Amino acid sequence: MTDLSLKTRPGLPEPLRALLVHYPRDGWTFHNNFDGLVAFWLDRHLNFRTLTAQMTQGAQAVLEGQLDPERHAAALARMGNRFLTELHGHHQIEDAHFFPRLTQLERRLEHGFQMLEADHVAIDGLLHRFTTSANAVLTGWQGPGQRDTTAAFLTDLHDIATLLERHLTDEEDLIVPTILHHGPGAVE
């Protein structure tokens, strides 16, 4: 049976690669339908990857004694807030607009769009953990448990970054070929 679970699937399941085989990644940027919606949407994904990488670097630097905990807390407040707000908004527009529209265009990939929607729910659960442990860093940077709270935050951040990367990659592999195939006008 096909594994659709965000936590365990190794990539986009074979039955969902029906369009990807005709639109492989290395040809995306050269396609006439790349500019505009696809480029913008991939850039949003890059933004989430960059934010998780920067937050990881910051927490690691604190643990290695190379970044002042106060400066780290200030930067994390800014980046963490951006990450949560923008990811939430991104998921909302995908759930409410993109997935229903793409399902109309490609009925045979419907269970793929449902899989991506289920990913969002799974990621939401991890975002609660992320918020709790990030807040512990923000309020506890001066306290004696500062190292432990930073290490715990780093663990939670690693977990969400790993699953988010799986989600973003599979989502791109499913959605970009669909938009390239039908044209951005069919989705907007």
Tokens of 124: 């939401």
For Fe ion, the closer of residues 59 and 164 by Cβ is 164
For Fe ion, the closer of residues 42 and 152 by Cβ is 42
Query: Where does this chain touch Fe ion (CB under 5 A) — which range of 32-40, 72-80, 94-102, 106-114?
Result: 94-102
**Closest listed residue to residue 52, CA positions, set 87, 9, 11, 93:** 87
CB count, 10 Å around CB of 7? 11
Helix axes 69-93, 146-182, angle to 10 degrees: 30
In angstroms, give the least distance from the CB of 31 to Fe ion. 19
In angstroms, give the least distance from the CB of 94 to Fe ion. 5
Residue 186 near residue 37, CB atoms below 8 Å: no
Polymer length of the chain: 188
Distance CA 15, CA 38 (A): 23
Query: Where does this chain touch Fe ion (CB under 5 A) — which range of 4-12, 74-82, 147-155, 164-172?
Result: 164-172
For Fe ion, the closer of residues 94 and 156 by Cβ is 94
Query: Where does this chain touch Fe ion (CB under 5 A) — which range of 61-69, 103-111, 129-137, 166-174?
Result: 166-174
Q: Which residues bind Fe ion (CB under 5 A)?
A: 94, 171
